[in-house]
């Protein structure tokens, strides 16, 4: 259990550029001052979609990436 917790902590705390997300998604996150997954996931999806430049396409990319890692439940609605 401790190893799983450490992997989760690494996942959410590591810089977004370490995650295999598209350059466009990473550029947007940099512009919006999101440095890691934790900062991004602290926002409800409804609020993310109101941010300048954050589109449904970006949400889909985030959802697919989290789903691939069995972490979709981290999204707030």
Q: ∠ at Cα 1 (4, 60), nearest 5°?
A: 35
Contact (CB, 8 A) for 51 and 38: no
Helix (H), strand (E) counts: the chain: 5, 0
The whole-angstrom separation of Cα 25 and Cα 16 is 9
Q: Give the pTM.
A: 0.91
- Domain span at 34: 2-74
Count of domains for the chain: 1
DSSP character for 17? G
pLDDT at 4: 78
Q: Which residue has the tokens 């998604």?
A: 25
Tens digit of pLDDT for each residue in 13-63?
A: 999 999 999 999 999 999 999 999 999 999 999 999 999 999 999 999 999
């Amino acid at each position: 259990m401790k190893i799983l917790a450490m992997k989760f902590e690494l996942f959410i705390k590591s810089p977004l550029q370490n995650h295999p997300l598209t350059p466009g998604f990473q550029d947007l996150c940099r512009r919006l001052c999101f440095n890691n997954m934790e900062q991004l996931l602290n926002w409800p999806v409804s609020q993310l979609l109101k941010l300048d430049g954050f589109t449904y396409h970006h949400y889909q990319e985030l959802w697919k990436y989290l789903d691939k890692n069995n972490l979709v439940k981290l999204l707030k609605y």
